[in-house]
Structure 1
């Protein structure tokens, strides 16, 4: 027994249906593959509409914008603004409990030697307490002026790594050669060094950056109460990290940059685990 389709009137044709939803009639076709698509399957294209699969395939073939030295392109310097906010919030906390906060979180070679390693990083977010304002004002101005440019060149993740490693480098120098320090100056000097490296790599005139670094180094040794250890430690670390980021071969850029970060952290760990700090020696 067989069944035959019902007869159709001459000239009658079946209405087209969506390729994903056969129960829905539609007269719109994908501009790329020409399959019929219903409103739920339409995606706006430069001309007309495309289906879901064609849009996904097109996205896979699009090269996403990249920062000059790796990482996703930066439209808004979110890391810079985040660091600014953290520093300002820490300073506001000092308005009410300055002595307690500084005594607990400032970088101290002796306390770090006896296991309070967090001070190496937390000390980089503290500044001279009120009524002194010049310390945080200068550092935050430098971060605001230089941070966005470096973040756009390096990418947000690499800029964050540069900033934090420079801060740690300054704290490690304080640990080795000093007694007590706090402030973002180590990270800021690391940014100065990075700006010089990036300027040289791009063929810009770097003499202005050299003058900036030179003047600040002179002030470091002329103005009393400034930690030259933190400044120079951050400068050396930031310059080295930036050089690894900027001069990494394009074909193996990510691997080289990651290896540089790991190597710097490893050196810092070796220093902390093997070398006694000046502060611990001085009090013995």
Structure 2
């Protein structure tokens, strides 16, 4: 039920008729509780006591400090970025099931292809996984994203989390470009989340032993199980750790500026690495 403006008081004979400060043709006897200007029903907003004009409401909103996450991001009620990334990975896997050869050849990470100008492989390959009949690759990565992603997103904010994930994915692909040949998977991004989880835990002063065990076991698996791209895993881990450190240790006074600068610097470094250095297959013959 909406409240209605108070009824107009009787108008004294001979007195000027008050009109709305924004609509001079409208008679009104309601005044703003802050600036005392006359306001018509279209220009009034209900306040804790009485009504306020639009200008005073806007001015008040500017002085209200907006809620932020512990590391400066906008509050997250639903981890939309995490769920969106998970959905994109699953949809890409469906495309692989339908036509694995075409999808992987066109969008998988291949160092020579990137060197020849197919730069999109650096990102698209991070959303592809080992094609059927293998399912463990996408199952592990999506399980990790499902478990870790939403909590990190709520701590960092959606925009910062998206930057962390994508830069980690790019860092893994750049490492494959520099030290490997070809690979698929979101593992670089997932390992970046592992690194971020460690940095966040240290920053918040919580016990990091569980995170260290998680990272240690996965790094061990990287080198023990054949067919796994250690380049992508370690590249994502290092990149995610660096980006997360910039996000969580940025000074509060210039937090957004420092966080943005770190993200841009990491992106620039990765682009320079791909632009200035040859891929692993060519480097062997130099």
State the TM-score, normalizing by the size of structure 2: 0.89
CA deviation string 1:84-108 (max 9, x = no partner): 1211111111121111101111111
Choose the corresponding residue for 2:112, options 107, 110, 113. 110
Q: How does 1:1-284 map to 2 (within 5 A)?
A: 13=15, 15-281=17-283
SS in 2 for 1:84: helix
SS in 2 for 1:43: strand
Aligned-partner Cα distance in 1 for 2:254–2:21? 43
RMSD across aligned positions (CA): 2.1
SS in 1 for 2:42: helix
Aligned-partner Cα distance in 2 for 1:22–1:244? 54
Structure 1: 4+ residue segments shifted above 6 A: none
Q: CA deviation at 1:15?
A: 4.8
- In the alignment, structure 1 segments of 5+ residues that lack a partner are 1-8
Please identify, of 246-255 and 118-127, the stretch whose mean Cα deviation from structure 2 is larger.
246-255
Aligned-partner Cα distance in 2 for 1:218–1:10? 88
Q: CA deviation at 1:193?
A: 0.2
- In the alignment, structure 2 segments of 5+ residues that lack a partner are 1-10
Change (3 A) 1:274 1:24: closer
Change (3 A) 1:233 1:118: same
Contact 1:109 1:280 in 2 (8 A): no
Contact 1:113 1:280 in 2 (8 A): no
State the TM-score, normalizing by the size of structure 1: 0.89
